[in-house]
Amino acid sequence: MNRPPSIKDVAKTAQVSVGTASNVLNHPHLVSTSTRKRVEEAISQLGFVPSDAGRRLRAGNSRLVGLIVLDIANPFFTQSARGIENRLALDNCYPMICSSDGDANKERKLIQQLASQQVRGVIMTPSDKAMENIRLLQRRKIPVVFMDYPSASAEISTVSVDDETGAATAITYLLSLGHRQVGFINGPKNIRQARARHRGVIEARNKVATKVDIFEIVADHFDATSGAHAARELIRNHPDITAVFCASDQLAIGAMRTIRQLRLAIPNDISVVGFDDIAVASELITPLTTIRQPMNELGNTAANLLLSDTDKPRHISFVPKLIVRESTAAI
């Protein structure tokens, strides 16, 4: 048999009607024990796998939930996705994970694909044009939750982290250690989180009376390679900096690599602060001081909102926390 076995093949092998074979799969209590056993033996013999897609269409529901993040390779989203997966499993649901790279066109195509799969709902870290892109989902009455995004619409539930407060906390901490020449390695400004963390840095600087210089450089991506390149340029242009705040732990890991390559000591020559508190942050040669985001809880909460029975949108925000480790010191 070149094609996959069908329910008709199962029925023929078991010598029952197609309706009876279907009842064994969907309503086994309606079938006698002997007949059910015969059908199950036919299923095993043929290697038949029921079409879950067809079953979803008939039942009008789905166990699949779409998850669109900026970049699943980023440990922040990987850990958040695990929180989503754990919560979905409680309702026998499963995530379909996609990366949009913050690109609105790619996001729109992913949404179209997920809608065609009749997903139960979509959790997404949205692009700047997400409200336009989700109209297809809204027309099909597919629920949506925005994750890692503040309240953007009264219609959409959101789960977010206060990025501005987190960035301000990082800068305030460095200033409390006596640093007045501070580098800031940010991510691409087309990403909302980068813009919010920029605002937090400026807010913290403006609150102090003493002169503080913040030198910002925008990295190409939120990854270690981009962080390494940005740190080299930052130190070359501003050799007097005594501390660097990075808008992600991945950026910080790259920056720390460059600092060591330049034969500078962490934290004696340059203190480093990250943002996220990914799992490896505490395991580095010099454990990283960072702003902790509750990644697992963020994902868990987003999934919980999606699966809740209420139609009333909710907006939940978490406050990030400063985690002090050995990568920072007073001057």
Asked if 267 and 277 sit in the same domain, the reply is yes
For residue 22, what are the CA distances in angstroms to 95, 227, 246? 27, 57, 57
Asked if 79 and 125 sit in the same domain, the reply is yes
The predicted pLDDT at position 243 comes to: 98
Q: Is residue 1 part of a domain?
A: no
The predicted pLDDT at position 25 comes to: 85
pLDDT digits (tens, 9 = 90+) for 64-78: 999 999 999 999 999
pLDDT digits (tens, 9 = 90+) for 191-218: 999 999 999 999 999 999 889 999 999 9
Residues in contact with 166: Cβ distance below 8 Å, sequence separation at least 6, in sequence order: 197, 200, 275, 291, 293, 319, 320
pLDDT digits (tens, 9 = 90+) for 108-167: 999 999 998 889 999 999 998 999 999 999 988 999 999 998 876 778 999 999 999 999
Asked if 253 and 106 sit in the same domain, the reply is no
Q: Is residue 201 part of a domain?
A: yes
pLDDT digits (tens, 9 = 90+) for 303-316: 999 998 677 889 99
Q: Is residue 2 part of a domain?
A: no
Asked if 120 and 237 sit in the same domain, the reply is no
The predicted pLDDT at position 44 comes to: 84
Domain hosting 215: range is 163-294
**For residue 217, which of 189, 177, 178 has the smallest C-alpha distance?**
189
User: Is the Cβ–Cβ distance between 237 and 229 less than 8 Å?
Assistant: no
Asked if 290 and 167 sit in the same domain, the reply is yes
Whether the pLDDT of residue 3 is over 80: the answer is no
pLDDT digits (tens, 9 = 90+) for 16-63: 999 999 899 888 889 999 999 999 999 988 888 776 555 554 444 689
Q: Tell me what the pLDDT averaged over the chain comes to.
A: 92
Burial of 203 (0-12, 13-18, 19+ CB in 10 A): middle
Q: Is residue 18 part of a domain?
A: yes
- Please name every residue paired with 145 in a beta bridge, in sequence order, or none if there are none: 123, 157
pTM for the predicted model, two decimal places: 0.79
Q: How are beta strands 94-99 and 243-246 bridged, if at all?
A: unpaired
Q: Is residue 57 part of a domain?
A: no
The predicted pLDDT at position 61 comes to: 65
Q: What is the CATH number of the domain that holds 26?
A: 1.10.260.40
